[in-house]
Amino acid sequence: MRIRRAQQGDEAALTRLRLALFVEEGDLASAGEEPALTRVLADYFAQTLADGACLHWVADAQGEVVGAGSLALFCRPPYPGNLTGREGYLLNMFVLPAWRRRGVARALVSAIQEEAAGLALGKVWLHASPMGEPLYRAQGFAGHPAYLEWRPQVLS
């Protein structure tokens, strides 16, 4: 198994794993439940693989993608503790059940952390599932107070 940056051609695998994540978390009953979501995910991965707005990694086991993780990049005004204002949001972490407890997620997170350090990001943050939180803490992530969220009503 090797960890590598995702590349054009990995869109279908990234989409498949993202849908599996939604099914596992109970957001979808099945991966085929929302064809529109499948289409926009494939478009999203194609776009971000091309423009680099979000970086993606895959765990490749003899040609089969068995895990993935992403780092969305953004910049805000510099602040105490982050003089660049550059940040990354770690998301989309998923490993197929048959490949869990083999160090795949840890290897993905390590690769993402290495890239984040190389990009001189001032902070990488995430929202952890109960299953993932021990891994992230072991990788050096620390708890932070909750945030507030607002979702604008989308006009159709």
Tens digits of residue pLDDT in 24-77: 999 999 988 889 999 999 999 999 999 999 999 999 998 999 999 999 999 999
Mention every residue, 6+ apart, whose C-beta is less than 8 A from residue 119.
73, 86, 88
Confidence (pLDDT) at 96 = 98
Question: Which of 92, 152, 153 lies closest to 128, judged by CA?
Answer: 92
Classified as helix, coil or strand, 3 is strand
**Rounded alpha-carbon distances, angstroms, from residue 4 to 61, 99, 111:** 11, 16, 8
CA distance 63 to 48: 22
- Find the largest Cα–Cα distance for the chain: 45
Checking if the pLDDT of 156 tops 60, the result is: no
The answer to whether residues 38 and 29 touch, using CB atoms and an 8 Å cutoff, is no
Q: What is the mean pLDDT of the chain?
A: 93
Confidence (pLDDT) at 132 = 93
DSSP state for residue 21 in the 8-state scheme: H
Length of the chain (residues): 156
Confidence (pLDDT) at 147 = 67
Look up residue 109 and give its two tokens.
């997170």
Classified as helix, coil or strand, 150 is coil
Q: What percentage of the chain carries pLDDT values higher than 90?
A: 84
pTM: 0.91
* Range in 72-76, 77-81, 144-148 with the lowest mean pLDDT: 144-148
Specify the CATH superfamily of domain 2-139.
Gcn5-related N-acetyltransferase (GNAT) (3.40.630.30)
Band of pLDDT at residue 145, cut at 50, 70 and 90: confident
